[in-house]
Amino acid sequence: MKVGVTLPQFVDDPSVALTAAIRAEQLGLDGLFCFDHLWPIGQRGRPAISMPPLLGAVAAATSTVHIGTLVARIGLVPDVVLIETFASLEQISGGRLIAGIGTGDSLSRQENDAYGVPFDSAEGRRTSMAIVARAVRARGIPVWVGGGRPSTTALAVEVGAAVNLWEDSAVRVSELSGAGYEVTWGGPLRGDAPTMAEQLRLLAEAGVTWVVAAWPESLEAVAQAATLARGS
């Protein structure tokens, strides 16, 4: 099981995220991930550093850690633009990109409406997600599909992607991994390092291949928890 974190991108100063990225790599964490939002959900007016340029800067500032989207949202830009964004990030990072893709929901629709960007039906967004996922996979880039509706989860197998669950239970992870899905997990890890390590162990036993912790109070504590969970 690999362990990563989301970066602090809902800030005015991009150096906060870049400093965090460099420190996370120094601590031996496996991945650095960005959301794809124009503002924090439900908090229009708060700052948000755009995902593509931030990940490009992180890729240039690091050398070994994976970078990824959690998740890039279908429909915020045209499909071909998203595909080429992933291709560029893959080149800049030297093959370290993980392309997390999601269809969004009614909460994220507010961003589309605010800027006059069409918000397609759920079925239309799933169709676009399949197109993007297949195109990105064809370039050799790993893809994670944001799990939600059963039809979206099933799409992951069709396109050869992992399912990403956000703050879901170890029971749900076990159900999906037992059914043959590759499962990754994102969400907050809470408590001190030993407590977080126990959460990681439970998720690992349930079958996750990756855990991505929401931006923590302490990167050091997450790194220590990862070491404890791996028994080293």
CA distances from 194 to 19, 143, 197, 231 (A): 25, 31, 5, 12
State the residue for tokens 């991994």.
177
| Number of other residues whose CB lies within 10 A of the CB of residue 205 | 12
pLDDT at 31: 98
Q: Encoding tokens for residue 105?
A: 């929901």
Q: What angle do CA 129, 131, 134 make, to 5 degrees?
A: 100
Tens of pLDDT, residue by residue over 92-113, are: 999 999 999 999 888 889 999 9
Handedness of CA 113, 69, 34, 151 (dihedral sign): positive
Which residues lie across from 164 on neighbouring strands?
146, 184
pLDDT at 147: 82
Handedness of CA 62, 63, 69, 72 (dihedral sign): positive
Residue 169's pLDDT band (cuts 50, 70, 90): very high
Q: What is the DSSP letter of 73?
A: E
Residue 42's pLDDT band (cuts 50, 70, 90): confident
Domain ranges, ordered by start, for the chain: 2-229
Tens of pLDDT, residue by residue over 110-157, are: 999 999 999 999 999 999 999 999 999 999 999 999 987 888 888 998
**Cα distance between residue 42 and residue 44, in whole Å:** 6
Contact 48, 6 (CB under 8 A): no
Please report, as a single letter, which amino acid is at residue 111.
Answer: E
Q: Span 2-229: which CATH code?
A: 3.20.20.30
Q: Rounded mean pLDDT of 22-37?
A: 97
**Cα distance between residue 102 and residue 81, in whole Å:** 15
Rounded to whole angstroms, the maximal C-alpha distance in the chain is: 51
Helix (H) / strand (E) containing 184: strand 183-187
Residues 6 or more apart from 24 whose CB is under 8 A from it?
4, 5, 32, 65, 219, 223
Tens of pLDDT, residue by residue over 172-228, are: 999 999 999 999 999 999 999 999 999 999 999 999 999 999 999 999 999 999 999
